[in-house]
Structure 1
């Protein structure tokens, strides 16, 4: 859940030095599939705090069972801690897809880790004088200064990060009636950060701030009622507070309200009203709002059906929707519904979505590989999607693994997958929706 204290720490991505183009031909090209499934390396804290990024190029030799035999830095990022983190990350990878090509991966294979510090570049230089003056105000009972100290302790601004201290200052400010501090304290209780995990306390403080018109607190309170996180499930209360936040101009709340009301819509008028909330969020370039408004055009729900308009909205959300916009746009391009069919761009979009671990991406890219004749590699990609819970990928993986006329032996992995595929195939089809 987003809050008013949201802090984007960093982003790190692993990219192959070659893009997959046409039919996969060698291990170097295939390496990107395994990298998409590997855990991301941990961004070194010292480099992150200083806003330092760079690119580390590493080489690996892959041994039996797809395990890394040797790893070394081919080109340094210029920071030893980044290079060491890249090596530690690559050594945890298992290269099943490389082995699935049926070619022995001999020699050294290269890849890059691109370290992007993002918002960490904006970390302020410690200002002792400012901290001292703010603390003096806070000690004198100034609630705004107390909340400001809480945020500094929470994010390590001007002072060493200390969540317990952050919670203590938030509490003083919250008890003094500061709505920002009330919401911030609720967030810490919801996370169990600096204070014991306590969803009811979180809701208590969200409600205090929401009553004062704090829009993120209203959205957070709506979430608690919508999903019953504090023990009370009440959709009417959720809609009430979500509407308050949306009317206040909070784009993520507008998106959530649009989706929730679309799901509950009983008439075309209801669906049009829901789409109008999505349009308000999209006008603020909210990525989820852009994606869901695109869906409303694609499905003709609340808006006239318009694939071209849907594709334009999906494009605006690319890279910011955790893979959903990439898949939606890729499917439109692959089918030619948004103009001339473009299999190449669709394939690239599916690969991008795989970097987000978005389960449907593996299914769609597996279909691309299967159509190209790379059935072994397609099976490996389907397996990755199956492991992430995508039922379509489960079914395709089992179909490619099946041996004509034979039944998997009970207790084997193949038997377990076959049982899962049977369960997936028996599921009732879901009606079209956002």
Structure 2
């Protein structure tokens, strides 16, 4: 988990979506596997700061070794920088799965990048009025308005993002005793965003907000003490502040406390206490809490082993766990645990997990393809997982590919030499 709980930039995502091309249907269909494994295009700074949105449709030709031999924009997003970023991104892709179809992709293959920066940059009239009223209150010394203005400058809400301005308004509000601003200013100092990086200053502001029972500040302060951000680590203070935050109801702190408890547990009673914290996070519908509580039921750690309960929690976390719930539920369905086996349902879940670039999902889906007899495509998917660092995929790729090459063989040997570890969340 990240030590910073406050986003410092506009939320952004690039979502590849393949479009059908009649000329080469089968390579086009499997193109999505390669796109899932590709590095995401770099978001142009100018477009991000302006919250520019759009869709860039690109076409590529695949040459030897799956490399892009040519690329062009088929439908523009309306912005040259987004289009250029899409082209630069697609040119870095390697299309192992496309080549594995056994058909020469002599035509153009098509895909689309959907640029979704978040809310619109230009507010309607009532929002401009709100910004004006808040600015007036902030200038008159209202700490709550000053903190709110800081968050708007930080996230580019109603105004162009400006971290230095955000820090300035947070400082005024923090000096006026506003706990939210004190925590927010601490986050900026911790990251060096809008202010010089100064972890001692960060801890000092966290401490002021934590003393006012600000739950995020307490969790951030716990992280600082755990990792010694501004001095020597202090496990006792870290545990004190994390427990205080978790007891106060912060789901992220409850999850961290539960995970730390699991890592340190020696007795079943310790694991049960840790699982209770996971359950409190899950009760707030916190996706990581749901996923890890499901794991505790699947592995029988802190809870009685129960595949049906595990599956129920995984289902609640689907689409919100970066592919982990999809992978875990898919493996249960694949093995027929907690009900009848559902290989097709498992395969669909593995594909969804691959969209989150979760390395083990490539290995699992490769096994599905292998069982279907699609050996060449399976080998390509194993390679994708191997390039993302999954040891099972690396070993499988080396086993199946003739003359895999010395670097791959060395990586497979290192993976095979891994010590057997006990189950953990």
Report the TM-score range of the alignment, normalised by the length of the smaller protein: 0.7 to 0.9
2:257 paired residue number: 257
Write out aligned runs for 1:237-256 (5 A): 237-256=237-256
> For residues 253 and 124 of structure 1, do their structure 2 counterparts lie closer, same or farther at Cα, with a shift above 3 Å needed?
farther
1:120 paired residue number: 119
- Is residue 121–residue 157 contact of structure 2 (8 Å, CA) maintained in 1? no
TM-score normalised over the length of structure 2: 0.88
- Is residue 9–residue 120 contact of structure 1 (8 Å, CA) maintained in 2? no
1:21 paired residue number: none
1:59 paired residue number: 59
Gaps of 5+ in 2: none
1:419 paired residue number: 410
1:431 counterpart (410, 415, 422): 422
RMSD of aligned C-alpha atoms?
2.8
For these two proteins, the number of residue pairs brought into alignment is 418
1:11 paired residue number: 13
Aligned mates of 1:6, 1:288 — CA distance in 2: 21
User: Are 1:185 and 2:195 counterparts?
Assistant: no
- Is residue 218–residue 245 contact of structure 1 (8 Å, CA) maintained in 2? yes
Cα deviation, residue 15, structure 1: 2.6
- Is residue 97–residue 377 contact of structure 2 (8 Å, CA) maintained in 1? yes
TM-score normalised over the length of structure 1: 0.86
> For residues 425 and 272 of structure 1, do their structure 2 counterparts lie closer, same or farther at Cα, with a shift above 3 Å needed?
same
2:158 paired residue number: 158
Cα deviation, residue 352, structure 1: 1.6
Cα deviation, residue 314, structure 1: 0.6
The alignment partner of 2:376 has SS state of helix
> For residues 72 and 311 of structure 1, do their structure 2 counterparts lie closer, same or farther at Cα, with a shift above 3 Å needed?
same
The alignment partner of 1:120 has SS state of coil
Cα deviation, residue 44, structure 1: 6.4
Write out aligned runs for 1:27-176 (5 A): 27-42=27-42, 56-74=56-74, 85-117=85-117, 119-121=118-120, 124-125=123-124, 127-176=127-176
Cα deviation, residue 83, structure 1: 5.6
Cα deviation, residue 251, structure 1: 1.2
1:293 paired residue number: 293
> For residues 65 and 417 of structure 1, do their structure 2 counterparts lie closer, same or farther at Cα, with a shift above 3 Å needed?
closer
Q: Give CA-to-partner distance per residue, 1:387-412, whole Å, 9 cap, x none.
A: 32222222222222354xxxx8xxxx
Cα deviation, residue 42, structure 1: 4.7
Aligned mates of 1:141, 1:120 — CA distance in 2: 29
